[in-house]
Amino acid sequence: MNQNKTKTKLKPSLKILSLALMITLTPFSGCLSADDSDSNDSLDDGEIVIVTYDVYALTDEMISTFENDSGLAVRMLKLDDAGSVLDYLIQNKGNSNVDLAIGLDNTYLPTAIEFDLLTEISADKTMMQDSQSNSGMSPLDPYDGPLATPFDMGYICLNYDTSVVDGENLSLPTSLWDLTEPEWNGKVAFPSPVSSSPGRAFMLATLDYFDWSQNMTEFKDWWSAMAENDAIITSGWTEAYETHYSGGYGVWNEGHVGDAHMTVSYCHSPGVEAFYGENSTKSSALDLPKTSFFQVEYAAAVRGGNSDYAHQFIQYLISPEVNSKMPIENLMYSVLADEDLPTDNGYRYHSLIPGEPSSVSNDAIRENMETWLQEWNSAVTSGE
């Protein structure tokens, strides 16, 4: 497809994202009805209702085993992404029959906690990794409290197509500012932080990269420059990676465009590509200081739901029989100690552990996310 034609079609999406931002942020300034009860355990109807997005680990076999072992029926309410899960919980606070939320990550969790959407449970986290474990990651670092339990993790960073970013066609960036140069015009795809958890994680990384605590100017200037350089901004990771990225498995999909030679994904995404590509991949993760973000995904009991049901499912989700399979079933790291990515077919070999990831605290995220999203949106739409 002609690149100019593609860019023309994508430009209106920035206006759509502006509207999405307003919709997403509206509840932050409104009044919400509160439900003072922590749970609704009295409604012991034998069914657990789970709100989530398309979490691959929640396989039919996994759900069936839980139902057989627990005697509970499982009903899934599947939404588009983690942002949709948070929006659902906010909009239905006090009026929902949901027991468990799966898929909020550490970029969305602070808001869920601030809005008092979750209830405490005492999940057993003693088997979880710490910084001395095989992967060097600690799923309890971002949050170690009773309101949410980690079930998978991984670093998010820029991925690039090594067949094009080879020093001849395109130069490997040594600074984020390199991506604003003409050679990268229209060749970078970003999932929006308004609606995508990987997109939000990368936005947070750029805040640290440009030292937001001292001055927001460089952060805004860089994102504005990327928009002016025809960066492709999509509503979610799937469109950015599977449709636009030239270096991943999307090349086999109908409708693949392949106009982006760099995108936001996981630092272990090249390992996934290799694992399913018989130890062959042309995708690589960019190890640029403070441009990666450590993501942890959580399962959390929803306030007003049946916390006992939620607790049972969470314990099952973090059990060795289920959680050890995360690298294969959910394409993410397990949170359990002594677990790592498989060595088969280059999975672990092609998976980067970044040398200097970004660091943005949960407190900073909770206090500033609304402002940061508005600043980001203003930067990428300033030329419209």
Looking at residues 13-41, what average pLDDT do you find? 42
Does the model's pTM come out above 0.85? yes
Q: Measured between alpha carbons, how far is 380 from 384 in angstroms, rounded to an integer?
A: 9
Q: What is the pLDDT of residue 159?
A: 99
Strand 149-161 to 232-234 pairing: unpaired
Q: What is the pLDDT of residue 43?
A: 64
Residue 225 — left, alpha, or beta (φ > 0 → left; ψ -120 to 50 → alpha)? Answer: alpha
- Does position 36 have pLDDT exceeding 50, yes or no? no
pLDDT tens-digit series, residues 86-125? 999 999 998 879 999 999 999 999 999 999 999 999 999 9
Q: What is the pLDDT of residue 136?
A: 76
Q: What is the pLDDT of residue 27?
A: 41
From residue 310, give the alpha-carbon distance in Å to each of 2, 111, 120, 361.
50, 20, 10, 27
Q: What is the pLDDT of residue 35?
A: 40
**DSSP H or E stretch at residue 202:** helix 197-209
Looking at residues 296-303, what average pLDDT do you find? 98
- CATH fold of the domain at 24-153+296-340: D-Maltodextrin-Binding Protein; domain 2 (3.40.190)
3-14+155-293+363-375 carries CATH number 3.10.100.10: no
Q: Measured between alpha carbons, how far is 307 from 312 in angstroms, rounded to an integer?
A: 9
Q: What is the pLDDT of residue 2?
A: 34
Residue 35: is it exposed, middle or buried by C-beta count within 10 angstroms (0-12/13-18/19+)?
Answer: middle
Token pair belonging to 207: 């805040």
Q: Measured between alpha carbons, how far is 337 from 127 in angstroms, rounded to an integer?
A: 6
Strand 232-234 to 283-285 pairing: unpaired
Q: Measured between alpha carbons, how far is 250 from 238 in angstroms, rounded to an integer?
A: 9
CA 199 to mean position of chain CA atoms: 7
pLDDT tens-digit series, residues 150-189? 999 999 999 999 999 999 999 999 999 999 999 999 999 9
Residue 42: is it exposed, middle or buried by C-beta count within 10 angstroms (0-12/13-18/19+)?
Answer: exposed
Domain residue extents for the chain: 3-14+155-293+363-375, 24-153+296-340
Do residues 43 and 312 touch, judged by C-beta distance below 8 A? no
Q: What is the pLDDT of residue 384?
A: 59
- Does position 331 have pLDDT exceeding 50, yes or no? yes
- Does position 82 have pLDDT exceeding 90, yes or no? no
Closest C-alpha among 110, 189, 111, 203 to residue 156:
203
From residue 307, give the alpha-carbon distance in Å to each of 10, 107, 118, 119, 354.
43, 23, 10, 7, 37
Same fold for the pair 3-14+155-293+363-375 and 24-153+296-340: yes
Q: What is the pLDDT of residue 4?
A: 35
Give the burial string for 262-294 (b: 16+ CB within 10 Å, else e).
Answer: bbbbbbbbbbbbbbebeeebbbbbbbbebbbbb
Contacts (Cβ under 8 Å, ≥6 apart) of 381:
14, 15, 17, 18, 227
pLDDT tens-digit series, residues 208-266? 999 998 999 999 999 999 999 999 999 999 999 999 999 999 999 999 999 999 999 99
- Does position 74 have pLDDT exceeding 60, yes or no? yes
